[in-house]
Structure 1
Amino acid sequence: MVSAKISLIAPYEELENLAREVVKEFTEPIDVRLGLLSAGVTAAERAIESGAQVIISRGGTAEEIRKAIPDIPVVDIRVTGFDLARAMVEARSIGGRLGVVEYPGIMEGVKVFKEMFGLEMMEAVIYSPKDIEASVSWLIRNGVRVIVGETVPVRIAEKYGARGVLIRSGREALKEAIEEAWRVWQVRLRDEIKMQQLRTILDHSKDGIIVVDEHNLVTFFNSAAEELTGLKSRGVIGKDAETAVPEVFKGINSNEPRSRSVVETAGRHIYVSRVPIAVGERSGGAIVIMQDVKRIQKVERTIRRQLADRGLSAKYQLSHVVGRSPKIKDAVTIAERFAATDYTVLIVGETGTGKELFAQGIHNKSARANEPFVAVNCAALPENLLESELFGYKEGAFTGARKEGKTGLFELAHGGTLFLDEISAMPMGLQARLLRVLQEKQIMRLGDDRLIPVNVRIIAASNKDLNALVKQGQFRDDLYYRLSVLTLHLPPLRERKEDIPELWAHFAERCSRELGIGPSPLTSGMEMLLFSYDWPGNVRELLNVVRRYMVITASGLSGAEEWLASALGIKEYEPEVEREQGLVKSMERRAILSVLKEVGGDKKLAAKRLGISQTTLWRRLKELENRTEISG
């Protein structure tokens, strides 16, 4: 059975019977009950327990229900002009002086009716059932013989010997009340849906949300607030906020329109903000929003990563380092140990030795791997531009500054790693600012006076000897000592030439994929050339040579060794064919001399042993004489 959303409480039996007839004209079920005053309140409470959400009643009974159950809307069965007219005609037909006992709402209609028809009658306005008997008694003492009004005044009038005329509600009044009740229910339903949507949103918010009323009593306490404070909503709802949640509410100033503070509760640092609720000029309480400081920092880092379009991720791992030589393997092992700490790292190595690859590898091996990796080349920017890149600037900080200001690289790297390449090129003035950031872990944007805390690991790199620069007065000694807590030296390629074949194969395979061509393996002659070269540009130079070689060989180059020798600037080079011919002649010379020695210089016997004619032997010996100092 579908529960009725509307219940009609009739104060008298005649109205109950009429209501049962009228509700049949409506498609939705409507509950009808009998109850006068307090009995009507009881009937309404039972109807609400059964699912009623709107109550219909009239007169004093409606007022009593409204007072007793303030959270449920009560629709009055309005007394129409026809209802009053019927009652007045009936009262005048009885004869005698008329009196009306009614609540203010109905009495207004009575006064209009009285003036319209020039009726003589006395009026007694009642505000509660307690006023009824005194009002009826007063009218009777003043000569009133017929009392017009609700059920109770009529009964009391008859008790005092007067006549009573009931103002009856007609069919139209009942229909109007029911239609109004349906409108009220629909509005209430929409409000409940909106409220439930809001509650669902608030309850599933990751922010803790507490709502207090104008008396500072807690009316809402979501699950996130429970998790942040360690308290349960059932122990907080309805209680004074400062008593129930003292750590949160004593940390904010309720006198300020919008108060913000960081408080500690349940072992966490919580950012708390209070937003007042205003209904017109009246206070409707406030909403208090709580956020875990760690989560705020994480969200900030995410936003910073999304807003920036450069240098915010490290793609290389230490496992990407190519080579098996002892020196490069030692460098990788040391880098892995450094990654396990959070100390500043200084990477020292010649140009092209892979300093940024190692920096990214250390970052990706560290506890900051899921945070930003931001790289900047200190030698690539002039001092003023490098400063604004590192620290950012406030709106209008200088001519040409962005209107909205700019976030610096330190802020973008918050929580992660900032890689300062070619740190030796950083101007002395900026070195002082960098030192302060390392000491205080705070930065200040250009043109601003606000300090911004940053949590950044610094990895610096240099292709110059910073210690020597310190002695020359070109680098701050205090900054050098800060940066060189952990120092990683990368070997140049000339000190690990045994890795060249593996590096060549690695780069050649990469270029093959990029160019869509087959691999081009090294020849023995090419290896000899690569080993004979000192590689001042190190691995980067080797990569560039491989790229040029792959592009040229893809177009059908012949004489690869000659090209490689030319590319490396090697002038005294003997092609492989010539080397092979020279090797054959050298072997031939040794064979002829050996046989001649064995036969005591007998050329005829030597020719026979060598399997050649004497003429051929004489010609070969002549050639050898021209090349070396030998005699027959």
Structure 2
Amino acid sequence: MNRPPDTRPRPRIWAIGISKLRDLFRDIAGEYDSRAELRLVSRGYEDAVTEIAAAGAQRPDIVVAAGSNGTYLKARIQVPVVLVHPTGFDVMHALARARRDASPVALVTHGETPAEVRRFVAAYGIDVVFASYQSAQDAEVCVLDLRDRGIGTIVGPGLVTDLAARAGMAAVFLYSRASVRAAFDTALDVAQATSSEALRRQRLDNVLQHLRDGVVALDAQGRVEAINQQLALALGIDAATAVGQALLAVAPDLAGAIPDADGETLQTVRGVGYVVHRGPLVGAGPDTATGSVLTFHESRAVERLDRTLRSRQRTQQFVARYRLDDLVGECAAIERVRQLAQRYAKSEATVLILGESGTGKEMVAQGIHRISARRDFPFVAINCGAFPEALLESELFGYEEGAFTGARRGGKAGLIEAAHRGTLFLDEIGEMPLPLQSRLLRVLQEREVVRLGSTEPTRIDIRVVAATHRALTAAVDAGVFRADLYYRLNILNLVLPPLRERVSDVMPLAAELLRQAARREPRLTARIRTREDAARVLALVGEPLRQHAWPGNVRELQNVIERIAVELADSNPAHDDAASVPELTRDVLHSIAPEVFGHAQQVAAALTLRQRSRRVEAEQVQAALDACGGDRDEACRALGISKTTLWRKLNGGR
């Protein structure tokens, strides 16, 4: 398999050595010409440090050195240093050469003599004196001390052998070509790894710089590892100089703005609001965090994005949430509504739903859609009385670009088009202006819509469900509603009864609404879990709730129950019995039916203690019966009483 040529630049390797090591470097340098830019430097210690610093942008990628010189450089330059280490063969071969003379031999190494070297010498029974040094001055003292002790031959690095020669002693150089080659090969591997890491960091930095949000990566001590220009500009700092420094030292404005733990917080930095997110900076292992990553989202940008997403996801919001089963009630009128709705759902004909405000007309419309053949497509609802005429026209029919001042570039599809293959629900159709009624009539007849400013019709496939609280026949007689549109809408019709005509459903409805309110209120969740729990809580206020006329129908009842839920949530959780409800809801019930509530209080005050007790029991039994949908067997099981006892208590007996 032919590999593509390596186009990466050759790494710059400086081989720093003096004396014999320098000569060894020179002997094998030619072997690496094709793989590295190899430079031989005949300097050591501080002179080598100075030369590396002076190289600037041409400084080496890797330095190869040995002994004390290499250790010195390692601690003083920011470039990786690879040390030349003698191999076991080097030691054996050097000691063998040194023993050709009869004089005593010493092995001198930089730092402590490796334990494996000592074991090797002991294994072969070689008589060797071990010595070590830390610096050039130590090496000179060490050599002179060995000479005074009668050592005739020294084995060691180039610095030591030069000192031994000057002291009149025999010297054997410790390093070999093999050990130098091994150091050069290691240097090439390190250079390749460093280059790959640099490339990875460069790519990461490139990604960071293209992010619109501010991002900074910190190590475990809070020092900057990487920061993008977006955040640096916002903080008024230089990104390059910030790397390696503590973030709070270079950006004191962030004091108090950084979350203490992983998560998000809303903060103000230099007068600008940000959503600041903190997350872990993962290390080598998936569960190893070596620092943290901070992301700064400008709050205004988040708000703009939210508005954009809401507009783009508009079609996803065209869904029906309610089912026919959500229509609570067991009276004959509501049962009739359910049966008709299920029957109408099988048809494609237009449905007209009549009923007072708050009776649940949209709930029924959504329920019809949910069980119709169009249930997988949009349910688009619009209130015809909630928009000015001009705005309602553009919302319903859409418009072309330039149709009017302020029209969106590219135009906009109307809600009728958005309902394609689904259901269009026209709430409060009786409020639609006359000029738009004729346009809607054409849509219903021809199943096509023409946008404002366009002459080309768009074919649509929709099912129309309309609703109104008005008497449309009277509106037709008054000339404010087109007769032909009325006949087109009134193909199938449903009439929802007002709440005052379904008194038996008030308490079940109230119990269900209280259960729903409790689910939204954490303080009530444990106290009211089921409809039966809610019915028991509301038992003692059943009479005022049943006697009120409810002109606002279910919507008014829902508002009252919400207020009762607030009162209950603020009450002592220990008093969760029904007896606590009248006190908690006195003002609420007075506000909806003062005459009914006041009368109930007068009646209660006139009763004896025994009569009051019987009355309370009867109301509780009735509430349980209502909660069980009138099923007496189920109510008896819930209350733990017989049917005879149930009948007696309902009639006020003991």
TM-score normalised to structure 2 length: 0.48
- What is the TM-score of this pair, normalised by structure 1? 0.50
Which has more radius of gyration? 1
